[in-house]
Amino acid sequence: MALNSCKSSKSAAPSTTPVAPEVVEQKPVETLAATYGRWTDVKMPLKIELQQPTKFSVSGNLTMTAGQAIGISLRMFGMEVGNVYVDADSVLAVVKPMGMFYAESTAKFTAAAGFGLPDIQTLLLGRAFVPGSGQLNAAMAPDFKAERLPDAEYLLMPAVQPDGYGYFYTAEFGSAPVATGLAVEISGHNPVLCNFADFRTTPAGTVAEKIRLRASVRDHNLECSLTTNAAKAEWNKGNAVRRPSIPSGARRMTTAQLLSMLKGL
Whether the per-residue pLDDT at 138 is higher than 70: the answer is: yes
Q: Specify whether the CB–CB gap between 120 and 110 falls below 8 A.
A: yes
Whether the per-residue pLDDT at 211 is higher than 90: the answer is: yes
Q: Identify the pLDDT of residue 103.
A: 95
Question: Residue 104: what are its φ and ψ, rounded to 5°?
Answer: -160, 160
Whether the per-residue pLDDT at 25 is higher than 80: the answer is: no
Whether the per-residue pLDDT at 262 is higher than 50: the answer is: yes
CA distances from 169 to 139, 183, 202, 203, 254 (A): 17, 7, 22, 24, 33
Model confidence band, residue 190 (pLDDT cutoffs 50, 70, 90): confident
Q: Specify whether the CB–CB gap between 216 and 75 falls below 8 A.
A: no
- Domains of the chain, earliest start first: 3-263 (2.50.20.10)
pTM above 0.85, yes or no: yes
Buried b (16+ CB within 10 A) or exposed e, 129-160: bbbebbbbbeebbeebebeeeeeebbbbbeee
Whether the per-residue pLDDT at 54 is higher than 90: the answer is: no
Whether the per-residue pLDDT at 192 is higher than 50: the answer is: yes
Highest averaged pLDDT of the listed ranges 69-83, 185-199, 201-215, 247-261? 201-215
Q: How far apart are CA 209 and CA 214, in angstroms?
A: 17
Model confidence band, residue 5 (pLDDT cutoffs 50, 70, 90): low
